[in-house]
Structure 1
Amino acid sequence: MDIDNIEGAGGAGGEKIPDVVTVGEAMALLMACQPGPLAAVRQFERATAGAELNVSVGLSRLGYRVGYVSRLGKDSLARNLLDFMAAEGIDLRHVRQDERYPTGFMLKSMALDGSDPEVEYFRRGSAASHMSRTDIPSGPYQHARLLHLTGISPALSDTCRDMVLTMAAQARGAGRLVTFDPNLRPRLWPTEAAMVETVNTLAGLADIVMPGLAEGKLLTGCAEAHGIADFYLARGARQVVVKLGPQGAYYASAEGRGVAPGAPVPPANVVDTVGAGDGFAVGVISALLEDLPLAAAAARGNAIGARVVQYRGDCEGLPTRAQLGLR
């Protein structure tokens, strides 16, 4: 198999150590240009998608060096994604192109009432699903301050699951910070039990766990945010932030607990809810990298998540520091 490394791009080329490393599947996103069911849509606008890619873009826009680990096909979708990531300043040293398998893509409907849009994925057998331990980077990537993971990558294949679990264990063992967003995709898993077991195993290897309330209920059996937080703190997490949607976020650690109020968004301004959770993760991770308290991190997560839902596309609303009012 002919796999080519893409050399360093953007602000983290050469041998610089990234601030953050993440691993996932970058996908082309085809957004409907008209409302209605996807089956009736005739025109689409191309953008980018992928939870970990969204987080990479958001952190890069806030001034952090971000290293992204992935595989793409050797096709036009991949070329577009690589150009986009390079323009966003993401380090591409460990993004590989695989000529045997395609780049994944997804379709997303246009929802005019603020509801979640209809989404269809075309990622089975993609290049990213063939990642394995051989894709685990060495050198500077092993010294990044933080490793960010989601529950999506381990769902892509057995080899991806092995890769992500290995990366999490290595990072935690080396004393690096590990953040984890469950980001559940039930359709990617063979059974719900397999999903719950793997996701909770990964959460147990993380320092900071960021489930949504509905995700937390499914994963822990606890109906309330404080119970979900207790579950993950008991499994080894140092900090837990439970996303409550418009109501904000519940945060918990040994230092204390509380609720960071949501950032209000007029219903008429909500145009695309996909990517809000990734924006929330950007806020929390960036604040923690700046040594801010967990309450302030949750508040920044709320602010960025609220901004993202006001833009079409998964990462179009992710702000720069100036747009967020930061120095």
Structure 2
Amino acid sequence: MSEFLTIGEPIGLFASQDADQSLVEATHFQKYLAGAEVNVSVGVSRLGHSTEYVTRLGEDPIGAFVSQQLSLNHIGTDYVDTTADYWTAMQFKQRVTKGDPGIFYYRKNSAAAHFDKASLDNIDFDGIKMVHLSGIFPGISEQALVAFKHLIELVHQHSTIRTTFDPNLRPQLWSSQAKMVSTINALAAEANIILPGVNEGEILMGSRDPEKIADFYLGNSHYTDTVIVKVGSKGAYVKVKGGQGSMVAGYHVDKVIDTVGAGDGFAVGVITGLLEGLSNKQAALRGNAIGSLAVQAPGDNDGYPTQAELRTYQAK
């Protein structure tokens, strides 16, 4: 029995070790576990919460590596199945000293893209308190989108379960921006808590203003009662339906090593904070803290803290 569940596509990440070299020039790589939803699972588990991850892996070395890493991170695999017909997704990431890294994916036609929605009917929702949803998994294939919608239908049958939704825009996965926008906004409307960034707000509803972004999502759904907008280094803007919004300050970082995984780290903070009974603002503050730790580490989820590490960091 787990408190937390999510569905996604895990990725075997090969990160270059030579700073500011293109992926063409780089010759030294280190292997990591990656993927937005699995990043969140790692962070939630590291903070001591029981976790289940739903996916499909290929019967290949990368799939075996992912399975191994899930176990090492104490992430439940009751709903992870395998197939010999398709491969596990891979990714190459450039190491940079400034800005966002270059990324190259091998994920088209992956095992997760052929996820069977019937597998979801085996999920035991007893004890689950939070389900995290991301806009990436429904973008990898039409089959994944169908499965994603089915999971939402199943979750709605359990009124005690809260859902978070991170748009996590990946335009390269979609046939057009118009389809991405309409699909992501429709899926977001099914969640209780939405976690967009200001850049995503500009694409999804035409504004970078945190209050306008929050009002857009709060006004478009009877399920959504909370929107927490990520505003980069400035922190986060929190607004609940019928209430006044407010900013929650971010954390200063002296040196950014890798920006990938910061948004997932923010989600980890919000989810675990709410699981532990923190207010929305306190949960957002924790999200800001973990997001800032994430950008100070090279892997997508290497910087996520334990409870002791988080307490020490927030006490500074």
- TM-score between the two structures when normalised by the length of structure 1: 0.91
**2:274 maps to amino acid:** L
- Check whether the contact 1:67–1:141 (CA below 8 A) recurs between aligned residues: no
How far, CA to CA, are the matches of 1:25 and 1:139 in structure 2? 18
Q: Tell me, yes or no, if structure 1 residue 93 matches structure 2 residue 81.
A: no
The residue aligned with 1:246 is: 233
Aligned to 1:47: 32
CA distance, structure 2, for counterparts of residue 121 and residue 259 of structure 1: 35
- The residue type paired with residue 252 of structure 1 is K
Aligned pair partner of 2:250 in 238, 254, 262: 262
% same residue = 39
Q: Which amino acid aligns with 1:166?
A: H
Q: For residue 134 of structure 2, what is the aligned residue in structure 1?
A: 150
Q: CA deviation at 1:141?
A: 3.5
Deviation per CA, 1:179-238: give whole Å up to 9, x if none: 100000000000111111111111100000001101011111233110000011012211
1:320 maps to: 306
1:224 alignment partner in structure 2: 209
Counterpart of 2:4 in structure 1 is 20
Deviation (angstroms), 1:146: 1.3
- State the one-letter code of the partner of 1:245: G
Question: Unaligned 5+ residue runs, structure 1?
Answer: 1-16
CA distance in 1, matches of 2:123, 2:88: 27
Distance 1:221 1:129 in 2: 30
| Counterpart Cα distance in 2 of 1:212 and 1:178 | 17
Partner of 1:10: none
- For residue 289 of structure 1, report the CA deviation from its aligned partner: 1.1
| More divergent stretch after superposition (224-233 vs 171-180) | 171-180
Deviation (angstroms), 1:128: 0.5
For 1:152 and 1:52, the matched residues in 2 are separated by 9
Aligned-partner residue type, residue 48 of structure 2: G
Distance 2:127 2:121 in 1: 10
Q: Deviations over 1:84-126 (max 9, x none)?
A: 110111100111111010011000001012x100011110011
Q: Secondary structure at the residue paired with 1:200?
A: helix
Deviation at 1:139, TM superposition (A): 4.4
Partner of 1:208: 193
The residue number in structure 2 matching 1:9 is none
The 8 Å contact of residues 61 and 320 in structure 1, kept in 2 or not, is answered as yes
Alignment match, 1:286: 272
Deviation at residue 134 of structure 1 after TM alignment: 1.7
Instruction: Please state whether the residue corresponding to 2:94 is helix, strand or coil.
Output: strand
Runs of 5+ consecutive residues of structure 2 not aligned to the other structure: none
